[in-house]
Structure 1
Amino acid sequence: MEKSYLSVFLLVVAVSYTMAKDFSTKNGKKDAPSVKKETQPKLPQTLSRGWGDNLIWTQTYEEALFRAKSGNKPIMIIHHLEDCPHSQALKKAFAEHKEIQKLGEKFVLINLIYETTDKHLSPDGQYVPRILFIDPSLTVRADITGRYSNRLYAYEPSDIALLYSNMQKALKLLKTEL
């Protein structure tokens, strides 16, 4: 008789557990591990990585160099990291700035989440975010800098007007050199 009580008790516990699990899943508290969620397929990340989906971005540094030389356009290269809060804040300001987005069409654009082997792209260190301009002769424009003396090519969201001005400067330098 003791075994039958134990069996009934275990059956009641198992049924209660199952019903409680179903109840919490239906009320949105918690997904049961056995319930398979319907997920939408993850879309592939675009080359813009959120910096401006309407702009044309190059995939590699080598491709950017080729397009700059053949198209006689300056390169704007953005070094950043996906999990860096400073990079994320600058990306948001960059993407929301309509004039920068429009002016960006005149550049060969690339944003890198990795360092290149070209030492010219880190003249004062490998920090993020940093933005450099390269003219069509493939010369890094060391004269186009941000406002910080210890990180010459760093920009913050509050520097977005300076970045816009530097983009204009890079284009003007191109016109005067032609």
Structure 2
Amino acid sequence: MAAGTAVKAFFTFIFDTVHCAGISGRDNGFGNNYVWAGSLESGLQIATHHRKPVMVIIHKSWCTACRNLKPKFANSPEIQTLSKHFVMVNLLDEEEPKNNVFAPDGTYIPRILFISPKGSVDPEIVNEEGSSQHKYFYSKPEQIAKSMRKVLDKYTEEQFDDMRR
């Protein structure tokens, strides 16, 4: 029995290590206090495996609004605390997905999208204090944290609903 438990623990460790190997992404100015996934693909794999939502920041190196957001995001204690419950992905320049799913209301930047633990972009999580034309544009850490809390509330409820079935 103990040997079986040890073998299971070993394989769980190996699987988790391999599955999380892509979690060594660059912060691209958004803060090295966060754990960044190495790519969108690895972020989605990690999220599915660990049943966590994903926060995706799409930004460009030449964008003034992106540059203005970076230090605010990087220095936000609230976002840092909430980020522990997310798989964090930031996509710079050519890393932006070409799929229109990641541009639900346009290709402006920066855009912050949230993806369910099952891997689909959640169009309901928007900046409620922002523009009706640019729903995924955030300029203040408080706005981002508010959406993060909304995501956590939503997907925590869903996980409990899944367990009841």
TM-score normalised by length of structure 2 = 0.76
Query: 2-side partners of 1:137 and 1:86: how far apart?
Result: 30
How many aligned positions are there?
A: 131
Q: Which has the larger radius of gyration?
A: 1
Query: 2-side partners of 1:137 and 1:111: how far apart?
Result: 19
Consecutive unaligned residues of structure 1, counting only runs of 5 or more, are: 1-45
1:136-156 per-position Cα deviation (integer Å, ceiling 9, x unaligned) = 111211111112111110011
> Identity, % of aligned pairs?
35
Q: Report what 1:150 is aligned to.
A: 133
Q: Report what 1:116 is aligned to.
A: 97
Q: Give the letter for the 2:34 counterpart.
A: L
- 1:58–1:109 contact (8 Å) kept in structure 2: yes
2:62 is equivalent to residue 83 of structure 1:
yes
| Deviation of the 1:117 alpha carbon | 2.9
Alignment of 1:4-43 (within 5 A): none
Query: 1-side partners of 2:62 and 2:71: how far apart?
Result: 13
TM-score normalised by length of structure 1 = 0.70
Alignment of 1:91-130 (within 5 A): 91-113=70-92, 114=94, 115-130=96-111
| Deviation of the 1:63 alpha carbon | 0.6
Give secondary structure in 1 for the equivalent of 2:113.
strand
* Structure 1 segments of 4+ aligned residues over 4 angstroms from their partners: none
Consecutive unaligned residues of structure 2, counting only runs of 5 or more, are: 1-24, 160-165
Q: Report what 1:52 is aligned to.
A: 31
| Deviation of the 1:171 alpha carbon | 0.9
